[in-house]
Each structure stands twice: as structure tokens, then as C-alpha cells.
């Protein structure tokens, strides 16, 4: 008779990183909103902001824009995605959980919350968006999906 094999749980490096990031994010959500609103990463680098600090709810859509207002974005919880549109030329991208950013047709009338200069906003589902004065870069933290909206050189991957 054969002895049963021992089974080990192997998370692997990407899954382990995802689990660590998810636990950090859940810990940030558990903090009072005054504490979790801004968490500086280091001196001179962008400021990370949990979506709860910018948006009123993790279950309601969230509108936000760059400091100059030339790019407007919308995060929706169901389906979980981030979409941004540049007002000057109408170019727009949507990033979904599939891991690929796609070109879309989008017009956002609401400017929403204006992000501070060099601010990074983190959403559930491992999405994050970082802005400069005239550029918005959104990506998935553990997949290859990303897009950059900027005057003259917008692209997706």
C-alpha cells in the first residue's frame, strides 16, 4: 500500500508579493481616515494615497484629475477598472483586471477631486495612478497592464 504524499503550500514570489501588498492595503483601510489619507513613501518621492482618502467610498465611482485639469479619470468598483481621458485630443484608455490597457471613447464632464502634484492614488484590485502636472500614469501593481496619458506621447502596454 502506498503512503500518502505530504503536500506543501507554495505561494511563489508573485503571489507572496500580492499577499503582502494586500495585507498592507487592508491595514491602511483599517486606519482612521485622518491617518490613512496620506502616507509619504520617502522624502522627494510621490505621496501615496489610499483611495479612501480621495474617494468617499470604496463602493462608489471616483472621479479625479491632474493638477492642470487636462486629464480626467474615473475609477469604478464594478467592474473594477480605471479609465482616463485627455481633454485636448480626446484620447482615452481603460485599464481592466485582464492586464491590458485598451483605447476607448470616453468623455468625462466631472473633474472630480484634483490630485496634488506628484501624488499616487492606490485602488483596490492592485490599481494605482500617479500624476504630474500634465501627465497621468496608471498601472496594475502585479500585472503588465499600464497606460500613460501625456500631451504628445500617450501609449498603453
Confidence of residue 17 (pLDDT cuts 50, 70, 90): low
Beta bridge mates, 81:
76
Cβ neighbours of residue 79 under 8 Å, at least 6 residues apart? 96, 97
Per-residue pLDDT of 89-128, as tens digits, reads: 999 999 988 778 999 999 998 888 888 888 888 888 788 9
Per-residue pLDDT of 60-98, as tens digits, reads: 899 999 999 999 999 998 888 999 999 999 999 999 887
- In the chain, the percentage of residues whose pLDDT exceeds 90 is 29
Distance set, CA 8 to CA 3, 4, 12, 127 (Å)? 16, 13, 12, 31
Residue with the larger pLDDT of the pair 129 and 2: 129
pLDDT at 38 over 50: no
Give the separation between CA 33 and CA 79, rounded to whole angstroms: 25
- Tell which residue, 92, 46, 85, has the closest CA to residue 63: 85
Instruction: Check residue 24 and give its pLDDT.
Output: 52
Give the separation between CA 26 and CA 76, rounded to whole angstroms: 19
Instruction: Check residue 86 and give its pLDDT.
Output: 94
pLDDT at 140 over 70: yes
Domain boundaries, the chain: 36-156
Cβ neighbours of residue 141 under 8 Å, at least 6 residues apart? 21, 126, 127, 128
For residues 118-153, one letter each, b for 16 or more C-beta atoms within 10 angstroms of the residue's C-beta and e for the rest, the string is ebbbbbbbbbbbbbbebbbbbbbbebebbbbbbeee
Amino acid at each position: 500500500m502506498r503512503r500518502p504524499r505530504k503536500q506543501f503550500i507554495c505561494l511563489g514570489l508573485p503571489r507572496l508579493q500580492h499577499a503582502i501588498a494586500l495585507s498592507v492595503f487592508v491595514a491602511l483601510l483599517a486606519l482612521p481616515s485622518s491617518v490613512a489619507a496620506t502616507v509619504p513613501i520617502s522624502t522627494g518621492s510621490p505621496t501615496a494615497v489610499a483611495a479612501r482618502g480621495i474617494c468617499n467610498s470604496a463602493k462608489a465611482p471616483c472621479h479625479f484629475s491632474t493638477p492642470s485639469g487636462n486629464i480626467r479619470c474615473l475609477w469604478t468598483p464594478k467592474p473594477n477598472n480605471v479609465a482616463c481621458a485627455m481633454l485636448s485630443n480626446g484620447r482615452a484608455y481603460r485599464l481592466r483586471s485582464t492586464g491590458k490597457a485598451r483605447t476607448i471613447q470616453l468623455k468625462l464632464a466631472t473633474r472630480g477631486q484634483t490630485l496634488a502634484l506628484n501624488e499616487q492614488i492606490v485602488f483596490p484590485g492592485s490599481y494605482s495612478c500617479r500624476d504630474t502636472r500634465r501627465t497621468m500614469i496608471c498601472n496594475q501593481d502585479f500585472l503588465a497592464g499600464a497606460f500613460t496619458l501625456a500631451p504628445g506621447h500617450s501609449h498603453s502596454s
